[in-house]
Copies of this chain bind each other. A is one copy, B any other.
Amino acid sequence: MNPSLEIFSQGEEVITGQTVDTNAAWLSEQVVTLGFTVTRHTAVGDKLDDLITLLREISTRTDCCICTGGLGPTSDDLTAEAVAKAFNLPLEFDPVAYEQIKRFFTIRNRDMPAANLKQAMFPKGAQRIDNRWGTAPGFFLQIGRCWFAFAPGVPTEMRHLFEESIGPTLASLFILQPPTLVTIKTLGIGESDIQQRLTAIEIPPPVQLGFRASPDDVQTKLLFPSDYPETEISTLVTNISAKLGDNVFAIDGLGSVSGDLVGTIDQLMMAGGYSLAVVETASHGLLAAKCVGMDWLLETCYQKFLEQLGQKLAVTVNKNDLFTTAKLVGQAIQKSNAVDFVLVQLYAGDNKIFHDKDQAIVLYNGLLTKDGFFQNTHSVVGPINRKQNQAALLALDLLRRYLQHKEL
């Protein structure tokens, strides 16, 4: 059985909703991959009594606890004091931590404020976790059956400390059996459709099947126990992928990580040495924005009025035949630019429909390539930001399908 682990977040800004506690989710994902079972998340503000009560409770019911926040220099940073009081441990001065904190200020040409001295005080028996990214060192402490790891609440610092120290240390303290997580990423098919297609496939009981729909993709997740045979993992993933067809744009967890849709496209564009120009309407610049830093995107343009775009490109715009219009626009752009592909993202539906979450716009995407003109069409309903995002994704997905399959 996996050891149990809790996440404990401290901070008035978390409890009042000023800050979304992304630390808890991030840490949970990491430790599940290591082989822990996460049993609870708790967050409280900066009341000393709450902290003491919770630390005591947690120490008796779990094998491991990662705590974030409360390690700063101000009067409402109470973690070390709460630990000392909860478990009757004196706070001790750590000269090495003190030097590190002083150095943090010295290299920034600033004097160390007196308040920061408390960050060098740890409960007796604690093992310091160095923090090269800020002034708050963390610490490990074993209380009874429970290993506590304390980290600062600033997400970047917390992540560095986890990756450099907390993760590896926990992995050495416990006998863990890391599961294998395989993620099949799709676009162009909904969660319920996926579930429907997978009913014919038998998922063996020790395998956990889950789904995660985000604005950018739908992920089918398979969690295999650590002793699950590799060949059976591979067979099951292949069978599921086959059912999902070319909606699958990437599979993570079988040795390679392919990232998101743009990452997948990037690999294919770079491998072929291709270049791309884009015309956007409903996506409103977001298609290009998603491709930031990609060398192969040469240009994009968004034009509020399709007629004006036609005038600029000397193309006759036919609003009743958006595929033909897309093709003509693509050809005009390809003629004036040395570019391999032109992706033209048009839509039917006036401005009122675009704004109305209950009405659908119809997307007409066209891709001009050396192999010819490819097209897809989709109907998208929902708030304007969803329409915009789907327009960008579904146009990019047309390019992805062409690059992966050279047929559509």
Q: Is the interface of A mostly helix, strand, loop or mixed?
A: mixed
Q: Which residues of chain B are near A41, meaning CB under 8 Å?
A: 9, 14-15, 21, 41-44
Beyond A41-B21, A42-B41, whether A300 also contacts B301 by CB under 8 A is yes
B42 touches A40 (CB 8 A): yes
CB distance from A148 to the nearest CB of B (A): 18
Q: Which residues of chain B are near A301, meaning CB under 8 Å?
A: 299-302
Scan residues 327-344 of chain A and give those whose CB is less than 8 A from a CB of chain B: 337
CB distance from A280 to the nearest CB of B (A): 7
Chain B: which residue is nearest A33 at the CB level? B17
A286 touches B297 (CB 8 A): no
Q: Could you mark each residue 119-159 of chain A with 1 if its beta carbon is under 8 Å from any beta carbon of chain B, else 0?
A: 00000000000000000000000000000000000000000
Binds B, one of A24-32, A98-106, A225-233, A368-376: A24-32
Beyond A285-B288, A289-B284, whether A20 also contacts B20 by CB under 8 A is yes
Scan residues 40-64 of chain A and give those whose CB is less than 8 A from a CB of chain B: 40-45, 50
CB distance from A335 to the nearest CB of B (A): 13
A210 touches B32 (CB 8 A): no
Q: Which of B22, B43, B304, B384 contacts A297 (CB 8 A)?
A: B304
Is A359 part of the binding interface, using a Cβ–Cβ cutoff of 8 Å?
no
Scan residues 168-183 of chain A and give those whose CB is less than 8 A from a CB of chain B: none
Q: Which residues of chain B are near A203, meaning CB under 8 Å?
A: none
Q: Which residues of chain B are near A283, meaning CB under 8 Å?
A: 289
CB distance from A336 to the nearest CB of B (A): 8
CA distance in complex: A114, B9 (Å):
40
A-B contacts besides A19-B212, A283-B289, 17 pairs, CB < 8 Å:
A15-B39, A17-B26, A18-B210, A20-B22, A20-B25, A21-B21, A21-B24, A21-B41, A39-B45, A280-B285, A285-B285, A285-B287, A286-B286, A293-B354, A298-B305, A299-B303, A300-B301
CB distance from A68 to the nearest CB of B (A): 13
B15 touches A19 (CB 8 A): no
Q: Which of B40, B308, B388 contacts A299 (CB 8 A)?
A: B308
CB distance from A376 to the nearest CB of B (A): 21
A-B contact list, 20 entries, CB within 8 Å: A15-B39, A15-B40, A16-B38, A17-B24, A17-B25, A17-B30, A18-B212, A18-B221, A19-B25, A20-B24, A24-B43, A39-B45, A40-B43, A42-B43, A280-B285, A285-B286, A285-B292, A292-B385, A298-B303, A299-B302
Is A291 part of the binding interface, using a Cβ–Cβ cutoff of 8 Å?
yes
Scan residues 202-217 of chain A and give those whose CB is less than 8 A from a CB of chain B: 210, 212
CA distance in complex: A44, B287 (Å):
38
CA distance in complex: A393, B395 (Å):
26
Q: Which residues of chain B are near A286, meaning CB under 8 Å?
A: 285-286, 289, 292
B39 touches A355 (CB 8 A): no
Is A111 part of the binding interface, using a Cβ–Cβ cutoff of 8 Å?
no
